Structure formats: structure tokens, C-alpha cells
């Protein structure tokens, strides 16, 4: 059984790729899958912080690629879920530290270890790191903000996913593309200040797999090193749970995309 490879990508930086990778990997693990999440951002390691395992990094992705450590030594077991592992990015400044053969070897190794899913957290941009993160993918989660430069970049990424991946090159069928709209603010959409879900879907010609509302809980979660999907009381956490369920094939209606009218008691006593 080979692992399903999911790339989380966007083109533009700062839209929520790492936040999404951490929550997606955690959500898949909660669903009972054996999951590894890999940070492809060589030189700018960050996933470890969002996952809360930064002090337990001994060996990294590049060490495995170069044969300086085994996969087993490098995979960091999540404190909260025993079937979830993190592979940290290297801090090296050598951008050529990753090779296509090296990445393939690691992904094959994870398949052999019985992993069900490998989540690849792509760096921003469309250069080598981003290319390698998407090359072997079976599924892609394209993270987009309701903002002009992010939407344009994600269209570019959708084009690359359709042509510059191994599946495309081998004619093995297109990779599954999921569009995830993050930092969504229904109040600003209602005021005509922000692109709506429908606008983004129309422009890109693809429907969303989820909408994550802009939420202060996301920053709180990253401050604490706990993926926001584990904050079950937050709208962002619940929206990520819905998104993971949809990626696993479940049908769930979109939530948190409309302006919520506060009830009398909420108005008086605060939310």
C-alpha cells in the first residue's frame, strides 16, 4: 500500500500553508490515519514551531536525503497523537540540499513504513523547493486568501499542478486539486470590501473544499504550538475539522461564511 501524498501549497507566502499543513496532518491522524508531515521550506524551518516540537528536532529532512540519519531517527513523534510524525526542514542555507531522487527516496521510505498519508508543507514561491513539494503529490490543497495577489498566484499554482507533477508527466491522471480559502471575514465580504467565496470560485473555476474564517484563535494556537484544529471551540478549528472530513470524502455544508447576528445575551455579555 503506497502512502497518499498531499501537497499544501499557494505560491504567495503568509497565506496559511503551515497552519493548514499542521491542522490537516493532525486532523488525518485524529481520523485514525498514520500521517507524516514534512517541512519542505529548506533554510526557514517553521512547521516544528506550529506543531510544538521545535525542541525535539535532532535530525532533519536533508539529513535523511543525504543518508546522515535514518528515517526512523528523523521522524519526530507527535506528543498528542501516536500515529502522527513530523519531519523538520533543514536550517542549511544550501538551496540545492534537496534533490528529486532524495525526496522520492524519503517518500518511498514512508510508504514502506506503512504511512497512509504524507503531507508536504511547501515553501512559498514557485522555485525548486515548491516544485519538489508538489512533484510527487496525488492531492493538492491550494491555500488562498480573498485578496488579489493571493488569488492570482494560486491560479498560477493550479496551472503548475496540472502540468509539472509526476502524475501529469506520466499521464497518470490529474492530481486532485482542493482549494482552501483562509482568513475569510464574512463581515467585510458583506460590506463589499472582500472577495466572497463565490467570487474566488468563479475567478479560479474551482470550488472550495473549505473556508477558514479569520480568527484570533489561529495566532493563539501558533503561539502555543498547538495546531488550531485541536481548538474545538474556535470557528477556525471547526472549519479545519470540516475541511479534513471533506478531503476524506465526507460531505459537510460550509459553516462560518455568513455574518452571524449576535443574540441578545451575546450582545450584553460579550461572546
| List of residues contacting another protein (CB under 8 A) | 147-148, 151-152, 155-156, 159, 163, 189, 191-196, 199, 202-204
Q: How many CA atoms lie within 13 A of 159 on its CB side?
A: 9
The nearer residue to another protein, 158 or 229, going by C-beta atoms, is 158
Give whichever of 23 and 196 is closer to another protein, judged by the CB atom: 196
Least separation in angstroms between residue 163's CB and another protein is 6
CB of 92 to another protein, least distance (A): 30
The nearest distance, CB 211 to another protein, in angstroms, is 15
151 and 204 in contact (C-beta within 8 Å)?
Answer: yes
CB of 262 to another protein, least distance (A): 24
Phi-psi region of 32 (alpha: psi -120 to 50; beta: other; left: phi over 0): left
Minimum CB–partner distance for residue 159 and another protein (Å): 5
Q: Are 142 and 161 in contact (CB under 8 A)?
A: yes
Q: In 3D, which of 132, 138, 140 has the Cα closest to residue 105? A: 132
Q: Closest approach of Cβ 141 to another protein, in Å?
A: 20
C-alpha closest to that of 61 among 78, 49, 44: 44
Nearer to another protein, 152 or 166 (CB): 152
Dist CA 176 CA 173 (whole Å): 9
Spatial distance between the Cα atoms of 95 and 74, rounded to a whole number of angstroms: 20
Residues 6+ apart with CB under 8 A from 217: 228, 231, 234, 235, 236, 237
Say how many CA atoms lie within 13 Å of 50 toward its Cβ. Answer: 28
Q: Which CB, 163 or 271, lies closer to another protein? A: 163
Cβ distance to another protein smaller for residue 71 or 189: 189
Q: Closest CB to another protein among 4 and 165?
A: 165
- Give the three cell numbers for residue 221: 494556537
Element (H, E) at 162: helix 148-163
Give Cα separations from 118 to 4, 7, 77, 153, 237 (angstroms): 6, 8, 14, 24, 21
**CB of 247: closest distance to another protein in angstroms?**
25
Count how many Cα atoms sit within 13 Å of the Cα of residue 70 in the half-sphere of its side chain.
3
Residue 60 vs 153, nearer CB to another protein:
153
User: 117 or 135, CB closer to another protein?
Assistant: 135
Least Cβ distance, residue 77 to another protein (angstroms): 42
Amino acid at each position: 500500500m503506497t502512502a497518499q501524498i498531499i501537497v499544501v501549497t499557494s505560491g504567495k507566502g503568509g497565506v496559511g500553508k503551515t497552519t493548514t499543513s499542521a491542522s490537516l496532518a493532525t486532523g488525518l491522524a485524529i481520523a485514525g490515519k498514520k500521517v507524516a508531515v514534512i517541512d519542505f521550506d529548506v533554510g526557514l524551518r517553521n512547521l516544528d514551531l506550529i506543531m510544538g516540537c521545535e525542541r525535539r528536532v535532532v535530525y532533519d529532512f536533508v539529513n535523511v536525503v543525504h543518508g546522515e540519519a535514518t528515517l526512523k531517527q528523523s521522524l519526530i513523534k507527535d506528543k498528542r497523537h501516536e500515529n502522527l510524525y513530523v519531519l523538520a526542514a533543514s536550517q542549511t542555507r544550501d538551496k540545492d540540499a534537496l534533490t528529486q531522487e532524495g525526496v522520492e527516496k524519503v517518500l518511498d521510505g514512508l510508504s514502506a513504513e506503512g504511512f497512509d498519508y504524507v503531507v508536504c508543507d511547501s515553501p512559498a514561491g514557485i522555485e525548486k523547493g515548491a516544485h519538489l513539494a508538489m512533484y510527487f503529490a496525488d492531492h493538492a490543497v491550494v491555500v488562498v486568501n480573498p485578496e488579489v495577489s493571493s488569488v492570482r498566484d494560486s491560479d498560477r499554482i493550479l496551472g503548475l499542478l496540472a502540468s509539472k507533477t509526476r502524475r501529469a508527466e506520466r499521464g497518470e491522471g490529474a492530481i486532485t486539486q482542493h482549494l482552501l480559502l483562509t482568513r475569510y471575514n464574512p463581515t467585510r465580504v458583506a460590506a463589499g470590501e472582500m472577495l466572497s467565496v463565490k467570487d474566488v470560485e468563479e475567478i479560479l473555476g474551482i470550488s472550495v473544499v473549505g473556508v477558514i474564517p479569520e480568527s484570533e484563535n489561529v495566532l493563539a494556537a501558533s503561539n502555543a504550538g498547538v495546531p488550531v484544529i485541536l481548538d474545538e471551540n474556535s470557528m477556525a478549528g471547526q472549519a479545519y475539522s470540516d475541511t479534513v472530513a471533506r478531503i476524506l470524502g465526507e460531505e459537510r455544508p460550509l459553516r462560518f461564511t455568513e455574518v452571524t447576528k449576535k443574540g441578545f445575551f451575546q450582545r450584553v455579555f460579550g461572546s
